[in-house]
């Protein structure tokens, strides 16, 4: 993976000014969390909701659309499809125990899928084979008490066991100062890094300067 082509996803966004500031950076994906138990769940605020239903662009002369990802945890298929349409989501990220039949229904609705999996020493990558028919990307996160948002990294060496065909997002406890570890990590299917709590001033509000420095170090 060439560093310049490594995509950046910033998850847990919800405030207009913060997103607009972030859009000035080389960010490829922004994650909006629709899981009510998350401290980054998007509150029902009309002004913010209307903004989030729009399209985000970078500052480049030829505007490049920032992809919107809706994060769901064991939500009903009907609600996922409804919110994907309502918010004009480019992808839905399924972060719970959604099985292949669930993914098949989402895919049949014409929605692109990022399926998250919690990784530890006991994880079997052979279980992912059936998901390859319905998912566009995988996301590998740390196994913990919560479905994401644990703020802890896992042993990336475990990903050497992954020999599937689907590119993946690397997630779980990525923080400022880990840039060289990411640069040194080699896997032909590494597509993007997913950052969240390690770059926050408070839940849902990102430190844009830290993210800017992180991107610079990764891509320089």
* Percent of the chain topping pLDDT 90: 75
In 3D, which of 22, 172, 4, 187 has the Cα closest to residue 95? 172
Is 62's pLDDT higher than 60? no
What's the pLDDT at 56?
Answer: 85
Is 183's pLDDT higher than 70? yes
Is 181's pLDDT higher than 90? yes
Is 83's pLDDT higher than 80? yes
Residues 32/70, Cβ–Cβ less than 8 Å? yes
Label residue 2 by pLDDT band (50, 70, 90): very low
pTM: predicted TM-score of the whole model, two decimal places? 0.93
Label residue 148 by pLDDT band (50, 70, 90): low
In which element (H, E) is residue 82 found? helix 77-86
Q: Long-range CB contacts (< 8 A, 24+ apart) of 172-178?
A: 172/119, 172/140, 172/141, 172/142, 173/142, 173/198, 174/198, 175/199, 176/210, 176/213, 176/214, 178/153
What's the pLDDT at 18?
Answer: 94
**How far is Cα 103 from Cα 192, in angstroms, rounded to an integer?**
21
Label residue 1 by pLDDT band (50, 70, 90): very low
For residue range 19-54, what is the model confidence (pLDDT) as tens digits?
A: 999 999 989 999 999 999 999 998 766 677 788 888
Q: Output the average pLDDT for the chain.
A: 90
Going from N- to C-terminal start, the domains of the chain cover 3-219
Q: Which two tokens stand for residue 21?
A: 């500031």
Average pLDDT over residues 93-111: 97
For residue range 107-122, what is the model confidence (pLDDT) as tens digits?
A: 999 999 999 999 999 9
Is 3's pLDDT higher than 60? no
Residue 118 neighbours by CB distance under 10 Å: 20
- CATH number of the domain at 3-219, please? 3.20.20.70
Label residue 217 by pLDDT band (50, 70, 90): very high
What's the pLDDT at 64?
Answer: 74
Label residue 5 by pLDDT band (50, 70, 90): confident
> Between β-strands 7-10 and 29-33, what pairing exists: parallel, antiparallel or unpaired?
parallel
What's the pLDDT at 101?
Answer: 97
């Amino acid at each position: 993976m060439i560093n310049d082509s490594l995509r950046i996803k910033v998850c847990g966004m919800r405030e207009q000014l913060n997103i607009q500031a972030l859009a000035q950076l080389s960010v490829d994906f922004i994650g909006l969390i629709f899981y009510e138990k998350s401290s980054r769940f998007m509150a029902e605020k009309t002004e913010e909701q209307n903004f989030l239903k729009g399209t985000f662009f970078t500052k480049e002369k030829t505007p490049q659309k920032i992809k919107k990802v809706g994060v769901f945890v064991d939500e009903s298929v009907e609600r996922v499809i409804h919110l994907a349409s309502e918010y004009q989501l480019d992808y839905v990220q399924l972060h719970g125990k959604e099985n292949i039949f669930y993914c098949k229904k989402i895919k049949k609705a014409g929605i692109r899928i990022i399926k998250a999996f919690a990784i530890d020493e006991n994880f079997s990558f052979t279980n992912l084979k059936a998901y390859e028919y319905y998912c566009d990307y995988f996301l590998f996160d740390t196994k913990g008490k919560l479905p994401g948002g644990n703020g802890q990294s896992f042993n990336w060496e475990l990903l050497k066991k992954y020999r599937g065909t689907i590119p993946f997002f690397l997630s779980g406890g990525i923080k400022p100062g880990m840039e060289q570890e990411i640069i040194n990590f080699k896997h032909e299917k590494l597509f993007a890094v997913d950052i969240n709590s390690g770059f926050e001033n408070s839940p849902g509000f990102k430190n844009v300067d830290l993210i800017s420095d992180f991107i610079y170090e990764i891509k320089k």
